Structure 1
């Protein structure tokens, strides 16, 4: 009986750890499709023409139909990371700072 209980507890603990969110995964990469669409809509409303043009250019280079797809591709390509070096091919350091603030603000508002 104890062995069975112990095995069940170990299995439950393993399952909980396997399903837990990794702290290394960027919050934007964790969003479901509906929420990401809401965040991107907010970014488009508040981003300004230059930033939206850069996001659209990145989307095109990633061969995506929309910005949401571009975000997903970057998340997948970089194992859930949106670290500064992962987006250097698309944005300058100044643009990255602006995009980061926009996405963070819009994520909090959604």
Structure 2
């Protein structure tokens, strides 16, 4: 299983967000001025990316970048946020990190899941 996982729920539709492009990136330096791409995927019919990135990551700062513009355009809708970027600190190398996204055309929220 990937060290970092995610899923997306479209709260406006009350359904999983299918087909959202997602990238996992790691900070290239301590100031987070640039990012290294680590993995990419697309959400499945359940709004999840089945295999996103390596099984193990070192401690550090990472981010998930969700291409919400592509998702809304595919459904004939527009949204206010063309992408959502969620940066987080991975501090426990043995712990699993699940970062869900609740999405609608004009808002989003996230949290550390289990």
What's the TM-score once normalised by structure 1's chain length? Answer: 0.25
Bigger Rg, structure 1 or 2 = 1
Larger strand percent? 2
Which protein is richer in helix relative to its size?
1
TM-score, structure 2 normalization:
0.25
